[in-house]
Amino acid sequence: TLQILTADTLMPVLRPGATVLASRVAARVTPAAVGLVAGRRYQVSALFRAMLLASARDAAIALAQATGSSRRGVAMMNAEARHLRADDTVARRPDGLDARGQRSSAYDLALFARQALAIPALMRIEAERTATFPQSRPHPVTLDNQNTMLGRYRGDLGGKIGWTRASQTTFIGWARRHGRTLIVTIMHGTRRTAISYAARLLNWGFAVDGRVRPVGILVRPR
C-alpha cells in the first residue's frame, strides 16, 4: 500500500505517454513482477497500471528510476510524505517492500489515500477490474485488480491490498455513497479478513455519518 505514495508522488511529474527504459535492477525483481525486460522501453501509464492493479514491484522501481535514479524517486516520496504531514512515514523503497528504517501507519495511509482522490488518473486505474500489460515476457500479462470489493461493494471506488512481513496484510479502500466519500485503511491484518473487515468499517462509517463526533480529523497538507 506504500505504492499509493509512489503514485501520489510520481503521477503528477511523469508524463503518461512518455517511455521509460527498464534497467537490469528493475528487470531482475521477483516475485510480484510484471516481467520487464532490461533495455526495453515501457510507457509510463502502463507501468502505473501494473503497479496499482498488480503491485508489480519491477514497475514501481522503473517509475522511480524515471526521475533520474531510484534514490531520487524515493527522496521525492519522502518529500511528498512531509508535504502531506504523514510524519509516521519513512520510505526506503518505491515498491513498498520491507527495508531497514522504512515505516508508516494506518493514519498516514489515509493521508495518501485522500491525496489519491485528487489524482483522476490514479482513481481511474483503481476502478479498472482488469487490464493488459502488452510488453511483458514471454507474452502479454493480464492484470487483475486485487481489490475483490470492486463491483461487489456498493459505491466502491477502488482499493489497494498489500503484504509484507513487517506490516502483514494492509489495505486502502475508497467508497462513495450519497455524495459522501469514505476511506478505510488497515495494517497488520490477514489476507483472509482484511477486505471483509474493510467493508464492515465502511458500512459502519456510512451508517453513523453525521451522528457521531469524530475522534479527530485528517490534517491538511503543509
Residue 193 makes CB contacts below 8 A (sequence gap 6+) with: none
Query: Judging by beta carbons within 10 Å of its beta carbon (0-12, 13-18, 19+), is residue 78 exposed, middle or buried?
Result: middle
Task: Report whether 6 contacts 60 (CB < 8 A).
Answer: yes
Helix (H, G, I), strand (E, B) or coil at 58: helix
**Integer distance in angstroms from the first to the last C-alpha of the chain?**
22
Q: Does residue 120 have a cis peptide bond before it, meaning omega lies within 30 degrees of 0?
A: no
Dihedral-angle region of residue 168 (phi above 0 means left; psi in -120 to 50 means alpha; beta otherwise): left
Helix (H, G, I), strand (E, B) or coil at 188: strand
Tell me which amino acid residue 197 is: Y
Instruction: Per residue of the chain (222 residues), give pLDDT as tens.
Output: 999 999 999 999 999 999 999 999 999 998 878 999 999 999 999 999 999 999 999 999 999 999 999 999 999 999 999 999 999 999 999 999 999 999 999 999 999 999 999 999 999 999 999 999 986 566 788 999 989 999 999 999 999 999 999 999 999 999 999 999 999 999 999 988 999 999 999 999 999 998 999 999 999 999
pLDDT in tens, 15-57: 999 999 999 999 999 887 899 999 999 999 999 999 999 999 9
Q: In the structure grid, which three cell numbers stand for residue 210, read together?
A: 453525521
**What angle, 0 to 180 degrees and rounded to 10, lies between the N-to-C axes of helices 3-10 and 57-65?**
30
